Structure 1
Amino acid sequence: MKKQKHSLFRCLIKLKPIKTAENILRVHSIESFGTQDGPGIRLIVFLQGCKLKCLYCHNPDSIETSGGKEYHIEELVQMAFKMKSYFGKKGGVTVSGGEPLLQSKALIFFFKRLKEEGIHTNIDTNGRILNHFSKELLDDYADLIMLDIKHMTEEGYVALTGRHNKEIAFNLAKHREASGKKMWLRYVLIPEITDDPELLHALGKHFKGYKTIEKIEIQPYHKLGIHKWEALGWDYQLKGARENTEQELQIASNILKNYFKEVKIN
């Protein structure tokens, strides 16, 4: 009888998982069958909360840490498991944001479970957080990271993100390189702000010796998030910026091809 009660208790726990600080992720949104956030077909989990306030952010409602919806890690694992047949050899789960490394402690448990299920793990990060938990997450459980490089000068970094010390992201890149694990770079190309050839050459020269970088992705500038800024009552300061021309994108690509194995325009 005791054995039956114990089995019933385990079933109840499985059906209604207990929430703790370590097994909960605060999620902004979830996208199925994504193809632009890592290799193959992916489940993309956008987490809530970010320390930066980038002028071009297309999810400004993900910045505040108090927003979003709580998900038990096992709920997310089951979502990924149901999609596993679609992932194939390359696909998997990408955690983006907001800034996912703000929730590194819980992500360790999430990625650990995904790896137990044989699912590829990827983090899209601005590189702003490098502590004990994020290091463990990156070193032991993240098959890939995509690091967003905001700007190559401190002045430009502050103007775009509202925060000082661009070197934090470069330190994270250095840590990832030392681990020998795969990394992609991402760079938003804003006309007359981040597309200066000198900045692009500086970017290439900084990372030229890195062996873990598989590719760099150029993210063309767009204004898809303006309505969200307006809904929040925030002033979108890049209203005067225009989208890239095909020629500008190709010029940037040609410069970066001097330094990286692969350059992709998203």
Structure 2
Amino acid sequence: MSIAIAEPEVALSTEEMLQTQGHIHSVETCGTVDGPGLRYVLFLHGCPLRCQYCHNPDAQGKPAGKVATAGEALADIVKYKNFIKRGGLTISGGEPLMQPDFIHAIFRGAKEAGLHTALDTSGFLGYKATDALLENVDLVLLDIKSYDPSTYKNVTGVELSPTLAFAERLDSLGIDVWIRFVLVPGLNDAEDNIDGLARFVSSLGNVAKVEILPFHKMGESKYKQLNMPYKLAETKEPTAEEVDRARSIFARHGVTAI
């Protein structure tokens, strides 16, 4: 599958870029799991995926929610600079790459402010990230939800290949990546599926960490509030033994997963 990369954008000053408007879902000012150190996590609205275990279903679809300029968002971020100077800024979602100009402006401003930057993405819209945008990203948290294409489509509602292409592009650019894999019993925990993902990850030279995240139902109440069906209501969280089994599969390929 051939995927065109977004065309380089016209060079703008940071001040001009910060006038870009975007749609914000929510903010976490003291995040500890979305990248290294203490982080300001900016969650954006909008996502083309329909992951069965999504914990922010209210962020799906076209960007909506609170409208702000990149400058307004950045002004709030830098208020916390002294708290997050050993951590940084993470932009998450939804899917941040639905708003590439907005996140580019914020990341550029954050880098100029001396902050570490991380992009939390499914990679499905990786082609929307220009090289100029990625130059302002220190770390990508890449969620690969399955390796078997049919399983991936069942989990997310979209195709797998764009995510794998984005992973390979990040490798070619030498951008650090944390791979994240949410382990869901009965959905994506087949041995062949995990083995394929482990083999793919082992082929990349830029992976600093692999995280196996046990499935949880923290978002279930939101589905009820939104009158949306929650397909995993009967699915149990993985046991410690099941998580260890997944780690051992990665280990076969020389990949340490935590």
Pairwise same-fold verdict (TM > 0.5): yes
Partner of 2:163: 169
Any idea what the Cα deviations from partners look like across 1:60-99, whole Å, max 9, x if unmatched?
A: 000032431012222222222222222243x100000000
Partner of 1:160: 155
Report which of the two structures shows the higher radius of gyration computed on alpha carbons: 1
Shift of 1:129: 0.9
Partner of 2:142: 147
Distance in structure 2 (CA, Å) of the matches to 1:259 and 1:86: 38
Distance in structure 2 (CA, Å) of the matches to 1:181 and 1:260: 20
Distance in structure 2 (CA, Å) of the matches to 1:21 and 1:214: 31
Partner of 1:200: 194
State which of 181, 187, 199 in structure 2 corresponds to 1:187.
Answer: 181
Percentage identity across paired residues of the two chains: 33
2:94 matched to 1:98? Answer: yes
Shift of 1:128: 0.9
Partner of 1:117: 113
Any unmatched runs of 5+ in structure 2?
Answer: 1-14
The one-letter amino acid paired with 2:144 is: I
Any idea what the Cα deviations from partners look like across 1:78-131, whole Å, max 9, x if unmatched?
A: 222222222243x10000000001111121111111011001110110011133
2:68 matched to 1:71? Answer: yes
| Mean CA deviation greater in 19-28 or 246-255 | 19-28
Distance in structure 1 (CA, Å) of the matches to 2:244 and 2:149: 26
Asked whether the equivalents of residues 121 and 142 of structure 1 are also in contact (C-alpha less than 8 Å), the reply is yes
Distance in structure 1 (CA, Å) of the matches to 2:76 and 2:208: 28
| Mean CA deviation greater in 228-237 or 71-80 | 71-80
Partner of 1:127: 123
RMSD of aligned residue pairs (Cα, Å) = 1.9
Any idea what the Cα deviations from partners look like across 1:15-50, whole Å, max 9, x if unmatched?
A: xxx999952221100001100101100000000000
Distance in structure 2 (CA, Å) of the matches to 1:49 and 1:137: 22
State which of 54, 57, 72 in structure 1 corresponds to 2:54.
Answer: 57
Distance in structure 1 (CA, Å) of the matches to 2:146 and 2:77: 34
Per the alignment, do residues 66 and 168 of structure 1 end up closer, same or farther by CA in structure 2, a change over 3 Å counting? closer
Distance in structure 1 (CA, Å) of the matches to 2:75 and 2:18: 19
2:213 matched to 1:214? Answer: no
Partner of 2:4: none
* Structure 1 counterpart SS, 2:249: helix
After TM superposition, the score normalised by the length of structure 2 is: 0.89
Partner of 2:217: 223
Distance in structure 1 (CA, Å) of the matches to 2:108 and 2:133: 12
Distance in structure 2 (CA, Å) of the matches to 1:260 and 1:85: 38
Partner of 2:3: none
Distance in structure 1 (CA, Å) of the matches to 2:68 and 2:256: 36
After TM superposition, the score normalised by the length of structure 1 is: 0.86
Any idea what the Cα deviations from partners look like across 1:141-191, whole Å, max 9, x if unmatched?
A: 11100111111112111111112x210100000110000110111001001
Distance in structure 2 (CA, Å) of the matches to 1:126 and 1:221: 16
* Structure 1 counterpart SS, 2:182: strand
The one-letter amino acid paired with 2:115 is: I
Aligned residues: 244
Distance in structure 2 (CA, Å) of the matches to 1:195 and 1:66: 31
Asked whether the equivalents of residues 18 and 69 of structure 2 are also in contact (C-alpha less than 8 Å), the reply is no
* Structure 1 counterpart SS, 2:178: strand
Any unmatched runs of 5+ in structure 1?
Answer: 1-17
